[in-house]
Amino acid sequence: MEQPRVERLGDDELDLIRPLLVDLHLAEQPHYADHPQLSRPEVEGFLPSVRRRFEGENVVLAVKDESRKDRVVAFCWCVLFDPGTGLEGEVAEVYVAEDHRNQRLGDALLRAAIGLFEERGVTLGYVWTRAENQAAVRLYEAAGFQPTTQLILTWYPRDT
């Protein structure tokens, strides 16, 4: 069988994938019952054009030590970016110093992160953690994040 010819689309051709993106969205949304089920016109109306480049923003939310304002005792690192399909928000990291745990700092940080997502109009927000990290899972679920049925696969470059 002959290999298909794969080509990189030019900037002026990026909208050629728009009909397929709409089809993809319509085909996938039934798998997420808690997500609004949109009609084709609704998907076409909200789906922006794909752009060649996009920019992101790091927002770090922090709690400082009350006695030493130069010391952060907990933080939540959020990444905001729009790959061309709407603003996405990722909670990249949440960490509370060991001597400041059990003071609901993680809850406060995640409430602030969700507030940031709402303020900025994030269309998809997510967080990654290990299933066995039950403290993190409880924290994220309490903030409104829900498990998905997606399988996440990771690719790493081979050592050369």
Domain map (residue ranges) of the chain = 9-52, 54-150
pLDDT at 44 over 70: yes
- Token pair listed for 129: 């953690």
Given this model, what pLDDT does residue 153 score?
A: 80
Q: What is the pTM of this model?
A: 0.75
One of 3.40.50.1970, 3.40.50.720, 3.30.930.10, 3.40.630.30 is the CATH number of 54-150, namely 3.40.630.30
Give the model's pLDDT for residue 148.
84
From 4-18, 73-87, 112-126, 137-151, the region with the lowest mean pLDDT: 4-18
Return the HEC string of 115-143: HHHHHHCCCEEEECCCCCCHHHHHHHHHC
Q: Is the pLDDT of residue 62 over 80?
A: yes
